[in-house]
Amino acid sequence: MKTQVAIVGGGPAGLLLSQLLHLSGIDNVVIERRSRDYVLSRIRAGVLESGTVRVLTEAGVGDRVAREGQPHEGVELSWHDERLRIDLEGLTGETVVVYGQTEVTRDLYDAAEARDAIVLHEAAVKRIEGIEGEEPVVVYEKDGAEHRLEARFVAGCDGYHGPARQMIPDGTRREFERAYPFGWLGLLSRTPPAAPELIYATHERGFALCSMRSDTVSRYYIQVPIGEEATDWTADRFWEELKRRIPVDVARSLITDGEVLEMSVAPLRSFVCEPMRHGSLFLAGDAAHIVPPTGAKGLNLAVSDVHYLHQALDLHFNHHTSAGIDGYSAKALSRVWKAERFSWTMTTMLHDFPQYEPFEKRMQKAEFDYLTRSETARRGLAENYIGLPL
Ligand code: FAS
Ligand code: PHB
């Protein structure tokens, strides 16, 4: 089989790139290891930057997020029972939109089906040959047989554990990583949200986050030591621990007697691979970088990578200039590193680090107090949270 762009990975990055390339008349094939249902079963991000919503709208998949997405004009931080609202709209003129990644992915799959896109499911990419030339070949396994897909370019949208990044030679690839000594235990419940806006709660027992998917479905996280499994926790134990970490007035009104839809643990890490292009191979999304979810950046960064990569490939195929593809890695990494900084800052400020001395704990409290007293500090947090310009 032959195409112009082979896309490894059918998560949000791969599907969005496929959709944008299609609109630019660029043939592409998506190769996804899992089934459509499996991909849609993964519960992940919940907050979209306004720039992300604009890209989804440009891609023709913005209707449902416009109807069902919930604009949020602010978020809260809390320190024990002290609550601090960050007025996103007042400080930046922008809002964020609460709309689950699962729904974004569903919208992209629906659009792919509507245009008879070629999305090969349960097809696992084994390797990518010839990326230093102009005729790379993606080798994948499906139905027990090995297949080859020839392309002009390959987009590695295969997430942190995918093979694409490894195709960049060791001597060329530089990886930067910080693994955190904790993870997030998440719970999705058919219960009304704890509060109208998200609450990022800091407590000496550990971090907690109150988020939501709609007026009837809520998403909560609590920081757990590295190595904890979701099976180590019952829903009752989760609720009790969450109530001990969030402000007492929020805990008092928390509704917990709804159906628990999902519980899972996500490890936290900061990770960046440089460069994000090698020859005919480009990386986008989690294949190139991971952020701790404390800044709500993971999915949004995948979208900005894809936005830049689509522009670059459109310039190549439709305007016959390599300016876009030659500049893609530097342009994407510039935004990636600023999002890494913000996510790292939020994570180090809000979590309980076992190795922290009393001095570092005082620094965390001073960060919170500075935000409480300085509109300039709050504006800095707000402009990063709503997303730096694309
Ligand atoms: P994805 O990992 O979503 O998709 C990659 C796709 O490639 C997968 O479908 C995979 O099956 C496929 N693939 C892998 N290897 C392959 C192979 N060999 N052949 C073919 N296909 C292959 N972000 C937030 O902003 N907030 C959150 O709360 C949040 N929670 C998260 C929880 C978890 C457990 C994880 C893993 C991530 C979380 N993220 C969160 C980040 C997440 O939302 C990612 O940023 C987002 O999924 C990035 O999308 P993709 O780059 O498409 O990668
Ligand atoms: C979520 O709702 O899943 C969510 C929201 C904000 C974050 C992380 C996760 O920072």
**Do 261 and 279 belong to one domain?**
no
**Do 198 and 228 belong to one domain?**
yes
For residue 89, being part of any structural domain is answered with no
What range does the domain containing 293 cover?
A: 5-70+97-177+269-349
We report the CATH number of the domain holding residue 171 as 3.50.50.60
**Do 205 and 331 belong to one domain?**
no
Q: Which of 136, 247, 292, 293 is flagged as catalytic?
A: 293
Ligand 2 centroid from CA 126, angstroms: 32
**Do 264 and 363 belong to one domain?**
yes
Whether 293 is a known active-site residue: answer yes
Q: Which atom of ligand 2 is nearest to the CA of 297?
A: 10
**Do 161 and 216 belong to one domain?**
no
For residue 125, being part of any structural domain is answered with yes
Q: Which atom of ligand 2 is nearest to the CA of 219?
A: 2
pLDDT of residue 26: 98
Ligand 2 centroid from CA 103, angstroms: 14
Whether 307 is a known active-site residue: answer no
For residue 163, being part of any structural domain is answered with yes
Give pLDDT < 50 ranges for the chain: none
**To test the ligand 1 pocket, which listed residue (119, 158, 276, 308) has its Cβ within 8 A of the most ligand atoms?**
158
| Nearest ligand to residue 217 Cα | 2
For residue 196, being part of any structural domain is answered with yes
We report the CATH number of the domain holding residue 371 as 3.30.9.10
**Do 158 and 173 belong to one domain?**
yes
Q: Is the CB of 51 under 6 A from ligand 2?
A: no
pLDDT of residue 206: 97
**Do 114 and 202 belong to one domain?**
no
For residue 103, being part of any structural domain is answered with yes
Give the binding-site residues of ligand 1, using a 6 Å CB cut-off: 8-14, 31-34, 39, 44-45, 101, 124-125, 157-159, 162-163, 266, 285-287, 293, 296-299, 302
- Number of domains the chain contains: 2
The CA-based angle 158-161-167, given to 5 degrees, is: 70
**Atom 6 (ligand 2): residue with closest C-alpha?**
296
Q: Which atom of ligand 2 is nearest to the CA of 186?
A: 3
| Nearest ligand to residue 220 Cα | 2
For residue 91, being part of any structural domain is answered with no
**Do 9 and 145 belong to one domain?**
yes
Q: Which of 99, 109, 200, 328 is flagged as catalytic?
A: 200
pLDDT of residue 35: 97
**Do 212 and 239 belong to one domain?**
yes
For residue 76, being part of any structural domain is answered with no
Ligand 2 centroid from CA 308, angstroms: 24
Write the pLDDT tens digit of every residue in 159-189: 999 999 999 999 999 999 999 999 999 999 9
3-state secondary structure the chain: CECCEEEECCCHHHHHHHHHHHHCCCCEEEECCCCHHHHHHCCCCCEEEHHHHHHHHHCCCCHHHHHHCEEECCEEEEECCEEEEECHHHHHCCCEEECCHHHHHHHHHHHHHHCCCEEECCEEEEEEECCCCCCCEEEEEECCEEEEEECCEEEECCCCCCCHHHHCCCCCCEEEEEEEEEEEEEEEECCCCCCCCCEEEECCCCCEEEEECCCCCEEEEEEEECCCCHHHCCHHHHHHHHHHHCCHHHHHCCCCCCCEEEEEEEEEEEEEEECCEECCEEECHHHCEECCHHHCCHHHHHHHHHHHHHHHHHHHHHHCCCHHHHHHHHHHHHHHHHHHHHHHHHHHHHCCCCCCCHHHHHHHHHHHHHHHHCHHHHHHHHHHHCCCCC
Whether 126 is a known active-site residue: answer no
| Nearest ligand to residue 291 Cα | 1
**Do 237 and 153 belong to one domain?**
no
For residue 82, being part of any structural domain is answered with no
**Do 22 and 122 belong to one domain?**
yes
Q: Which atom of ligand 2 is nearest to the CA of 211?
A: 2
Whether 71 is a known active-site residue: answer no
pLDDT of residue 43: 87
**Do 150 and 221 belong to one domain?**
no
